[in-house]
Amino acid sequence: MGKPSKPKNPIVTHIFTADPSAHVFEGKLYIYPSHDLDHDGPSNDNGDQYAMEDYHVLSMDDVNEECVDHGEALHLRDIPWASKQLWAPDAAYRNNVYYLYFPARDKEGIFRIGVATSTTPEGPFTPEENYIPGSFSIDPAVFVDEDDKAYVYFGGLWGGQLEKWQEGTFNSNAEGPKLTEPALGPRVAELSDDMLTFKSEPREISIVDESGNPILAGDEERRYFEGPWIHKYNDLYYLSYSTGTTHKIVYAVSKDPLGPFEFKGTILTPVIGWTTHHSIVQFKEKWYLFYHDCSFSDGVDHKRSVKYTELTYNDDGTIVTINPYED
Q: Which residues are catalytic?
A: 19, 226
Domain annotation covers residue 323: no
Domain annotation covers residue 268: yes
Q: What is the pLDDT of residues 52-111, one digit of tens each?
A: 999 999 999 999 999 999 999 999 999 999 999 999 999 999 999 999 999 999 999 999
Contact 281, 288 (CB under 8 A): yes
> Looking at residue 21, which CATH number applies to its domain?
2.115.10.20
Domain annotation covers residue 253: yes
What contacts 75, CB < 8 A, 6 or more positions away? 53, 54, 55
pLDDT in the model for residue 40: 73
Domain annotation covers residue 324: no
- Radius of gyration of the chain, Cα coordinates, nearest whole angstrom: 18
pLDDT in the model for residue 121: 98
What is the count of structural domains for the chain? 1
Whether residue 41 is predicted with pLDDT greater than 80 in this model: the reply is no
Domain annotation covers residue 160: yes
Q: Say how far apart CA 262 and CA 255 lie, in whole Å.
A: 10
Whole-model pTM: value is: 0.96
Q: What is the pLDDT of residues 114-148, one digit of tens each?
A: 999 999 999 999 999 999 999 999 999 999 999 99
Whether residue 2 is predicted with pLDDT greater than 70 in this model: the reply is no
Range of the domain at 136: 16-311
What contacts 311, CB < 8 A, 6 or more positions away? 4, 267, 280, 287, 288, 289, 319, 320, 322
Per-residue pLDDT band for 9 (boundaries 50, 70, 90) equals confident
Contact 181, 216 (CB under 8 A): yes
What contacts 244, CB < 8 A, 6 or more positions away? 157, 158, 220, 225, 226
Tell me the backbone φ, ψ of residue 295, rounded to 5 degrees.
-65, -35
Domain annotation covers residue 9: no
Residues linked to residue 60 through DSSP beta bridges, in sequence order: 29
Domain annotation covers residue 43: yes
What contacts 65, CB < 8 A, 6 or more positions away? none
Residues linked to residue 287 through DSSP beta bridges, in sequence order: 282, 311
Per-residue pLDDT band for 6 (boundaries 50, 70, 90) equals low
Residues linked to residue 261 through DSSP beta bridges, in sequence order: 207
pLDDT in the model for residue 290: 98
Q: What is the largest CA-CA distance in the chain?
A: 52
pLDDT in the model for residue 95: 95
Give per-residue burial for 115-142: e unless 16+ CB within 10 Å, then b.
Answer: bbbbeebbbbbebeeebbeebbbbbbbb
Whether residue 1 is predicted with pLDDT greater than 80 in this model: the reply is no
Domain annotation covers residue 46: yes
Q: What is the phi-psi region of residue 121: left when phi exceeds 0, alpha when psi lies from -120 to 50, beta otherwise?
A: alpha
Whether residue 280 is predicted with pLDDT greater than 50 in this model: the reply is yes
Contact 1, 320 (CB under 8 A): yes
| Gap between the terminal Cα atoms of the chain | 15
Per-residue pLDDT band for 310 (boundaries 50, 70, 90) equals very high
pLDDT in the model for residue 3: 47
